[in-house]
Amino acid sequence: MPIVTVSRLAKHYGAAHVVRGLDLAIERGVCFGLLGPNGAGKTTTLKMLLGLIEPDAGEIRIFDTAIPQLARNARQNIGVVPQMDNLDPDFTVTENLLIYGRYFGLSDALINSRIPGLLEFAALTSKADSKITTLSGGMKRRLTLARALINDPELLFLDEPTTGLDPQARHVIWQGLRRLTHQGKTILLTTHFMEEAERLCDRLIIMDHGRAIASGNPRDLIAAEIEPAVVEIYGETVGRWAQKHASYYCKRHEITGETLFCYTHDGAALIAHLREQDVLRYVQRPSNLEDVFLKFTGRELRDA
């Protein structure tokens, strides 16, 4: 029985249909990714799941509770990491956890018994009494994640949890999220980082224009949608090269700026050919979730 079920969900603002008949089901204990370019409708969907805005149509059930009618009850068992850190800068790390726990009606004794474990989880034990203003961006994100766990929720909503972090900090957050799913928690994650989704998510949907346009396990999607090898070819003359050679060497190809993406089952012949010339640079790599994402959503910029 899924922990979250969404059926035929819809929301419009004026003439803009932002979510258009979205269906999804999230099973207990999985990390579920909600991906999509800017303006796809991800944040609007998350807000409806949290009961913060009301859908025009469709149904949401979380823990078998209808949202938004019974959102308050469900929220007791949900942790939220918002896109922007909203820690209280006037308080210390420990005080932020304490105050947040009180919102859930937890006793100070219970909150205080949870704080050491959460600080350890977030690798912030040595910062327990530090003011928020003294923390790095990575520390603030880890604290926001720890804070979302104060009510020991079964379900976590994470809205771009690693945006703005350096690679080291991102790896620490990933490790923490994996620990949570191993503990049986269910995670709904929105992210623009395809590597993050590929590593963490058991299932995902790619949304665009308010609809799910692809769904599945990341590895299955890559295997089903993309040729196994990708050769990226760079250089000013790549357009001319493509006219002459791309259809011979590539099963499918795309050009963005000065880069050609050549999708193929076997890049060996192409690599041998490219070695013979010294104008173009190239790199061969396995296909990945970003290739799937770009195949479905296109390469043009979204400024929404």
Binding site for ligand ADP (CB under 6 A): 13, 16, 18, 36, 38-44, 304
Based on its alpha-carbon atoms, the radius of gyration of the chain, rounded to whole angstroms, reads: 22
- Select from 22, 19, 33, 7 the least CA-distant residue to 186: 33
Of residues 13 and 103, the one with the C-beta less far from ligand ADP: 13
CB of 273 to ligand ADP, least distance (A): 41
Of residues 41 and 55, the one with the C-beta less far from ligand ADP: 41
CA separation for the pair 206, 189 (Å, rounded): 12
CB of 44 to ligand ADP, least distance (A): 3
Provide CB contacts within 8 A for 257, sequence distance 6+: none
Provide CB contacts within 8 A for 52, sequence distance 6+: none
Of residues 100 and 193, the one with the C-beta less far from ligand ADP: 193
CB of 205 to ligand ADP, least distance (A): 12
Of residues 39 and 82, the one with the C-beta less far from ligand ADP: 39
Of residues 201 and 270, the one with the C-beta less far from ligand ADP: 201
CA separation for the pair 137, 27 (Å, rounded): 32
CB of 17 to ligand ADP, least distance (A): 9
| Pairing outcome for strands 78-81 and 65-67 | unpaired
CB of 20 to ligand ADP, least distance (A): 11
20, two tokens = 């258009």
CB of 26 to ligand ADP, least distance (A): 18
CA separation for the pair 105, 65 (Å, rounded): 20
Of residues 41 and 101, the one with the C-beta less far from ligand ADP: 41
How far out from the chain centre does Cα 141 lie? Answer: 15
CB of 14 to ligand ADP, least distance (A): 7
CA distances to 103, 177, 286 from 200, in Å: 30, 8, 18
CA separation for the pair 297, 289 (Å, rounded): 12
CA distances to 86, 89, 97, 158, 205 from 92, in Å: 13, 8, 9, 23, 38
Of residues 44 and 151, the one with the C-beta less far from ligand ADP: 44
